Amino acid sequence: MLTGLTIVFIGGDARQIEIINKCTELDAAVKVVGFDQLEPPLSGVSLEKLSPGLLMNADAIVLPVVGCDDQGIIDAPFAKEKIVMNKEMFAAIREGTAVYTGMAKSLLKRMAAEFSFKLIELLERDDVAIYNSIPTAEGALMMAIQHTDITIHGSTCIVLGLGRTGFTLAQTLQGLGAIVKVGIRRGDQAARAVQMGWKPFVSTDLAAYTGEIDLIFNTIPTMIVTAQIISKLPRNVVIIDLASAPGGTDFRYAEKRGIKALLAPGLPGIVAPKTAGIIMANTICQSISEEFHLRGDEM
């Protein structure tokens, strides 16, 4: 239970609603900023304006998945007005207060270092990333089906990157009967790919595998599907880039060559916001509970 704790939510999309509801169920005092246009309205919470006093009295603060941009602007689709975290707001957060987000940009990291609040990036956690890889894979498949005129079964698919998302995606494609080739970096990943029945190759050797391809799924957040690679691809190939913006594909050259290339970061919140929200809610509530048990033990 989170009885006696004040948790402040600032902005966020449909995923945030699941986290708010979970914290309310666990008896926290929940205060929210940026949900004044949500229909139906949230129950059991206090609608607030962003202020230093609000942040100063928070036991934990929850920001959207992408906390804020480098101008301090918070993503808040349910807000009437733009929400901006300026330096005065960051300075009001008490030292040691846990501030949750999915991934932090440079401003948020700098403010955490300067004002000594505890920044927790949930998407850096293995458990969250693995759970999130499931709706990501489903969303990628949905896009592939929408943008091709062939079945996944029997198609030749390349997955670039065998991290948590790449692994789940390759497994899902294989389950649908695709021929799966995976771009890897390390020997242990090659061994895992062979064990799974996929065909591994070194990601930097992608140019040698551009012949018979139907779909490319990229999870690597650096430029890997370059103009040189795209120039060798069949014109009917579809590229789905799942890496964080700006992705790892030369989208300008793909468009020039008439190849369909789609940037699709953040799929869990788009295709399955309820599931993605539940994943985040369980992790945040467990983390807050652990934080305060630890503090209680130290007192």
pTM of the model: 0.82
Per-residue pLDDT tens digits of the chain, which is 299 residues long: 889 999 999 999 889 999 999 999 999 999 999 999 998 889 999 999 999 999 999 999 999 988 899 999 999 999 999 999 999 999 999 999 999 999 899 999 999 999 999 999 998 889 999 999 999 999 999 999 999 999 999 999 999 999 999 999 999 999 999 999 999 999 899 999 999 999 999 998 999 988 889 999 999 999 999 999 999 999 999 999 999 888 999 999 999 999 999 999 888 888 888 999 899 999 999 998 887 765 544 43
What's the CA gap between 132 and 110, in Å, rounded? 27
